[in-house]
Structure 1
Amino acid sequence: MKISYECGPCFLRQAREALDLSTDDENLKMEIMGEIFEYLSQNFKSGTNSNSTGSTMHALIKQRTGCADPYHKEKIESNNLALKYLPDVKKILEEDDSLENHVKIAIIGNILDFGAFTLDDDIESVIKNSLKKDLTIKDIVEFENSLKANDKVLYLVDNTGEIVFDKLLLSKIKEYGLDITIAVKSEPILNDACMAEALDAGLDEFGSIVEIGAGTVGYVDSKISDEFREIFNSHKFVISKGMGNYEGLTEIDLSTKEIYFLLCAKCNTISRDIGVNLQDMLLFKK
């Protein structure tokens, strides 16, 4: 997906956050922010790829600060907090074990920023209230048909914390008898799930976990490894979680694939691109 004018302040917000997590050296932060201003002044223009721009910016921060994983602590805490609520979510699903509810739970995982919650927050109410909302785009019939018609699926995960809720949808997918391949980032980027966090969350219970060969914001086709490209090309049926993967995958030809996007539209640029309202919950086939 291409950047909009609203991506500018978002890039700068992310840069500030990553810098604060990477170093306490105020002079270094000033230097790096100046370099980011220079980079954006040259590259922030219509037609620029949003994922590639963000990836370059975060790579610069990691290289200049020497901090390879600024969000390491936050990722661990997000997974641990989500795991504490997993039994409660399972109880909710016992009341309605439908495929649609499992999809909603996976999307609610995309809504919840576990890094911003504490054990004192009423996450259960957030979950229950979100479950009452209907999916704005609900290609659930097509989705179930794909589950029945295919023997394997590639599942592209998004953030830590969120991946714990993905387990419930992965468990439901298993009931359809599919072999599941779960794709994670190869290198740390933001709070995205890498191999360590996926294993910590127990995703290996449901399928084989593979790395995409890159540590990019979302999916950047030019950066994935040859090994992952083989895996991607060999899967007709793909499930994509989150906005970053949507931004990247919609840049390439998907005409030969049955690809479903599960996400919450959390920014205006994404909302406009899809044609929905802010905070809408979506399951749609592209």
Structure 2
Amino acid sequence: MKISYECGPCFLRQAREAMDLSTDDEQLKMEIMEDIFKYLSTRFKEDTNSNKTGSMMHKLIKEKTGCYDPYFKEKIEGNEIALKYLPDVKRILDKDDSLENYVKIAIIGNILDFGAFTLDDDIESVIKDSLEKDLVIKDIEEFENSLKSNDKVLYLVDNTGEIVFDKLLLSKIREYDLDITIAVKSEPILNDACMAEALDAGLDEFGEIVEIGCGTVGYVDSEISDEFREIFNNHKFIISKGMGNYEGLTEIDLSSKEIYFLLCAKCNTISRDIGVNLHDMLLFKK
């Protein structure tokens, strides 16, 4: 997906937050912001890839500050929030254990995103409200047909915290007797899940966990490893969590894939691109 004008202030907001989490050196932050302005002044154009631009900005901040996991504490907080709501979520599934409900819960987990929300946003209130909402786009029948007709699936996870809810959907998918491969980031980026967080959450109980070979905002095709490209190419059926993966995957040819996007539309640019309202929850085949 290409950037819109609204991505500009979002990039700068993310840069400020990442710097504040990385260092207390005000002079260094000033120097880094100057570098970011220079970078964006040459790259911020209509045909620019949003994921790659954001990834390069975060890489610059990491290299300049020497802090390679700025959102470490926020990832812990994300897990704590998810675990807090897990009993409520399980009660919902006890009443209705339909595939659609498992999908909805996994998408609600996608709200735990410090790339889209600010550190000061009341994410817990958004989760509470979302528990009462229905999916706006729900290609459930097609999704279940893919679960029944394939023998393996590649599951691209997104955020730490969110993966606590992903476990519930993975347990449901396993009922369809598929081999599950779970893809995580190789290096920290925002509050995205890496191997350590995935193992801590127990995702290895449901399938093999693999790394994509980079630490990018969402999926950036030019940055993934040869090993992961082979895995990606060898999977016809793919489940993609989150906006970042949507932004990156819509940049490449997916005509040979059965790919389903599970996300909450947390920004206006994504909402307009898909044709939905802000905060709508979606399961759709691309």
TM-score by length of 1: 0.95
> Is contact 2:147–2:173 with CA below 8 Å preserved after alignment?
yes
Out of 44-53 and 69-78, give the one that drifted further.
69-78
Q: How many residues align?
A: 283
TM superposition shift of 1:74: 1.4
* Counterpart contact for 2:112–2:123, Cα < 8 Å: no
Q: Does the 8 Å CA contact 1:259/1:285 hold for their aligned counterparts?
A: yes
Contact 1:83 1:201 in 2 (8 A): no
Cross-structure match for 2:185: 185
Give the aligned partner of residue 148 of structure 1.
Answer: 148
**1:61: which partner in 2?**
61
Q: Distance in 1 between matches of 2:39 and 2:123?
A: 41
Write out per-residue CA displacement over residues 7-36 of structure 1, whole angstroms, 9 at most, x where no aligned residue: 000000000000000000000000000100
Match of 1:82 in 2: 82
Structure 2 matches for 1:40-55, cutoff 5 A? 40-55=40-55
Residue in 2 that maps onto 1:20: 20
Moved over 6 A (4+): none
- Give the alignment's TM-score, normalised by structure 2: 0.95
User: Does residue 97 of the first structure (1) align with residue 97 of the second (2)?
Assistant: yes
Which residue in the other structure is 1:163 paired with? Answer: 163
Aligned to 2:226: 226
What are the Cα deviations for residues 169-215 of structure 1, in whole angstroms up to 9, with x where unaligned? 00000111111100000000011000011111111111110000000
Compute the displacement of 1:79 (Å). Answer: 1.5
Distance 1:228 1:44 in 2: 29
State the 1:85 CA deviation.
2.9
State the 1:90 CA deviation: 1.3
1:254-269 correspondence to structure 2 within 5 Å: 254-269=254-269
8 A contact 1:271–1:277 mirrored in 2: yes
Change in Cα spacing, 1:45 to 1:117, as seen in structure 2 (3 Å) is closer
| 1:72 Cα deviation from its structure 2 partner | 1.1
Structure 1 or 2: more helix by fraction: 1
Deviation per residue, 1:222-271 (Å, 9 max, x gap): 00000000100010000000000000000000000000000011111111
List runs of 5+ in structure 2 lacking aligned partners: none
CA distance in 2, matches of 1:122, 1:45: 31
Shift of 1:76: 2.0
1:266·1:278 contact (CA, 8 Å) conserved in 2?
A: yes
Q: Percent identity?
A: 85
Separation in structure 1 between the aligned mates of residue 69 and residue 161 of structure 2, nearest angstrom = 16
Give the Cα separation in 1 of the matches to 2:92 and 2:37. Answer: 47
- Taking a change above 3 Å as real, the CA distance of residues 45 and 127 of structure 1, as seen in their structure-2 partners, is closer
Q: Which ranges of structure 1 fall in alignment gaps of 5 or more residues?
A: none
| Counterparts of 1:220 and 1:25, CA distance in 2 | 31
Aligned pair in 2 of structure 1 residues 149, 47: CA closer, same or farther (>3 Å)? same
Partner of 2:242: 242
